[in-house]
Amino acid sequence: MLRSIFLRLSKSNWAYRRITGWSVTRRMAARFIAGEQAEDAIRVVRKLNDQGILATLDHLGENTTQPEDARLATQEVLSMMRLIAEEGLRCNVSVKLSQLGLTLDEELCAENLEAILNLAQELGNFVRIDMEDSGLTERTLQCYFHAREKGYGCVGVVIQAYLYRSKEDIHQLSIRQGRVRLCKGAYNEPASVAYPKKKDVDANYDRLAAQLMDCALTATLPIVNGITPPIPAIATHDPQRITFAQKYAESIHLPRNAFEFQMLYGIRRDLQTRLVSQGYSVRVYVPYGTHWYPYFMRRLAERPANVWFILTQFFQRGS
């Protein structure tokens, strides 16, 4: 219920104006966001790399409404990739297709994505396409498959365990050695497309993690024609999901370097360093930029304690 309210507020202009105006929420947001400038993000990534943690950088923004903004967002990703290379960081990038123009003009989006993939290929880097709400799932996967058909191997996509369709999507992706990040899913979805109960999402998460690991084991690991091996990314902070993945990998003899754990910046740092010390690859998703509001609201929605805090502020100040 509270989760759903917060996810609705993440799309409200009225709530945006109020919530981003408070110093308390700006301070809270700083826990999850590296900063507003590229240099802030680079500083955070360098620190993570020094601790043996890989990173993926996300220039915040989504649902772009002007073609020019989609082009500017693309330019930002391109310059960030050049900066990553210049600084010698162990870091790739994550993009949202709605930021690159998917909801405005599919051709423009494909053009922007291609520019990003061309540079990633040239620099030997990798681009992860984040998954947004279910209204964009099919189009996002089609863009991903289209990029793969055009020969881009340096690209991966995200699958959400709360969606009923995900088992079949993973099947289709594994046929093409698709590189998948598995997450639970962060949007407000109806029961017609997504499991409403957390316990069902968790159970599906474990099934899909096993499915991805089986694919990783059977896939040919050497890099062929520039296609990167389908290293599955287990993106969660949930200790039970992580334990399941560790045990399952061991049971099928999948080496620790054949998959990654991924977490969000600012969440469960203790777990990130523990996994690294146990010899697992860990990648942290580091968002930066000025458009932090919807991302921040999704993070609040995941944690009831945060929600109560903000609601109290909201009503105290609003009355």
Q: Which residues are catalytic?
A: 130, 181
In whole angstroms, the minimum distance from the beta carbon of 86 to ligand FDA comes to: 24
Question: Is residue 3 part of the contact set for ligand FDA (CB under 6 A)?
Answer: no
- Compare residues 68 and 275 and give the one whose CB is closer to ligand FDA: 275
Amino acid in the structure at residue 98: S
Question: Is residue 187 part of the contact set for ligand FDA (CB under 6 A)?
Answer: yes
Reading the block at residue 210, the tokens are 């096993």
Q: How many Å apart are CA 53 and CA 40, to the nearest integer?
A: 17
Which residue in 151, 148, 216, 149 sits closest to 181, CA to CA?
Answer: 216
Q: Which residues contact 163 (CB under 8 A, 6 or more apart)?
A: 134, 137, 169, 185, 189, 193, 194
- Compare residues 51 and 218 and give the one whose CB is closer to ligand FDA: 51
Q: How many Å apart are CA 146 and CA 254, to the nearest integer?
A: 30
Binding window for ligand FDA (CB under 6 A); candidates: 59-67, 105-113, 167-175, 299-307? 299-307
In whole angstroms, the minimum distance from the beta carbon of 214 to ligand FDA comes to: 21
Nearest-Å Rg of the Cα atoms of the chain is 19
Question: Is residue 173 part of the contact set for ligand FDA (CB under 6 A)?
Answer: no
Q: Which residues contact 56 (CB under 8 A, 6 or more apart)?
A: 91, 92, 93, 94, 128, 262, 283, 284, 285, 286
- Compare residues 130 and 169 and give the one whose CB is closer to ligand FDA: 130
Rounded to the nearest 10 degrees, the angle between the axes of helix 239-252 and helix 269-277 is: 20
Question: Is residue 185 part of the contact set for ligand FDA (CB under 6 A)?
Answer: yes
Question: Is residue 59 part of the contact set for ligand FDA (CB under 6 A)?
Answer: no
Which residue in 120, 259, 232 sits closest to 178, CA to CA?
Answer: 232
Question: Is residue 163 part of the contact set for ligand FDA (CB under 6 A)?
Answer: no
In whole angstroms, the minimum distance from the beta carbon of 194 to ligand FDA comes to: 10
Contact 116, 127 (CB under 8 A): yes
Question: Is residue 2 part of the contact set for ligand FDA (CB under 6 A)?
Answer: no
Question: Is residue 264 part of the contact set for ligand FDA (CB under 6 A)?
Answer: yes
Q: How many Å apart are CA 166 and CA 194, to the nearest integer?
A: 10
Binding window for ligand FDA (CB under 6 A); candidates: 47-55, 135-143, 216-224, 236-244? 236-244
- Compare residues 199 and 253 and give the one whose CB is closer to ligand FDA: 199
Question: Is residue 285 part of the contact set for ligand FDA (CB under 6 A)?
Answer: yes
**275 three-state secondary structure:** helix
- Compare residues 158 and 173 and give the one whose CB is closer to ligand FDA: 158
Binding site for ligand FDA (CB under 6 A): 130-131, 158, 160, 183-187, 235-238, 262-264, 267-268, 285, 299, 302-303
